[in-house]
A = this chain, B = another copy of it.
Amino acid sequence: MNTDYINIVNSNLEKYLKIEYPNIIYESMNYSILGGGKRVRPCLLLGSYNAFGGNKIEEAVPFACAIEMIHTYSLIHDDLPGMDDDDYRRGKLSNHKVFGEGMAILAGDAFLNYAYEIMLNFSIEKFEKKYFLAMQKIAEAAGLKGMIKGQVLDIISENKQIDEKTLLSIDKNKTAKILQASMLAGGILANASKEDLIKIEEAGYYLGISFQIKDDLLDIQSTTEVLGKPINSDIKNNKSTYISIYGEKKAENDLKKYTDKTIEILNELKLMNEFLQDFILKLLERIN
């Protein structure tokens, strides 16, 4: 199922990004979004859609692709010299190292705008409220009250000793909200009840925090080869992480604790289809 979802997402991304004139921008976008990536957000969206009984996957795919585009835009901009200045991503040179800074800025901008075009065009065609509501959740999670807020907090916290509350706010906004939105959008598209959406939002929150703890752990426990980007980058960038604040042991424990909470809620919801169970456990045992 996991591979199925990934294949569906990849083939649709390819279709959306067929090379046109001027080729260079499409090549730059293809470079960053194709041939790599775990497709975590699209898989969560499609998995949640399926778990809530959705059975017309083609109505969820545009949103899954859009959310991956939003994720990719944030990575491209994040790697820029003016931001984290990272030369590698997913085992390859960062976008700006290949296409230059100007084209990388535009590729990120293009992904963000295109994500909205795709969701909007599809939603207008169908003209059912749930589509616009799914889009709204994604937009909110990507914006000033979500991912961008997290990025800003991240930047202004560099080279500073931050407290636990600030760290949690960074992790919540930068990472958790878009994972939450992925699961939530899946539920909305599958016509889940309001009560269930509240629960899935909670599960997405715990998953998001544990996902970030795992990221922080990998940054010190993995190798550059396996991770596809330099390890110890948080230390290099003087960033506070779950580990610099709580230590490695508590990070490991909390990773387990939050994962358990995620699974617990999904079980309560009787939502634990094989895919989600497996996918979430794999996410937290992943090596890159």
Contacts and interface: CB of A to CB of B under 8 A. Distances in A.
Interface of A: 22, 24-25, 73, 77, 80-83, 96, 100-106, 108-110, 112-114, 116-117, 120-121, 123-124, 127, 129, 132-133, 135-136, 139-140, 142-144, 148-149, 151-153, 155-156
A34 to B, nearest CB: 16
Contacts of A105: 77, 80, 82-83, 105
Contact of A22 (B22, B135, B143, B156): B156
Given A82-B100, A102-B155, A148 B24 contact: no
A110 B22 contact: no
Residue of A108, A132, A144 contacting most chain B CB atoms (<10 Å): A144
A151 to B, nearest CB: 6
B77 A104 contact: no
Given A82-B100, A101-B81, A142-B113, A132 B148 contact: no
Given A25-B148, A143-B114, A108 B109 contact: yes
A42 B77 CA distance: 28
23 contacts: A22-B149, A22-B152, A22-B153, A24-B156, A25-B148, A25-B152, A73-B109, A80-B82, A82-B101, A82-B104, A82-B105, A83-B105, A102-B155, A106-B152, A106-B155, A109-B148, A113-B142, A113-B144, A114-B143, A116-B139, A117-B139, A120-B132, A127-B132
Pairs of residues from A and B, 8 with the lowest C-beta to C-beta distance, nearest first: A82-B101, A113-B143, A25-B152, A83-B102, A110-B148, A116-B116, A117-B139, A82-B102
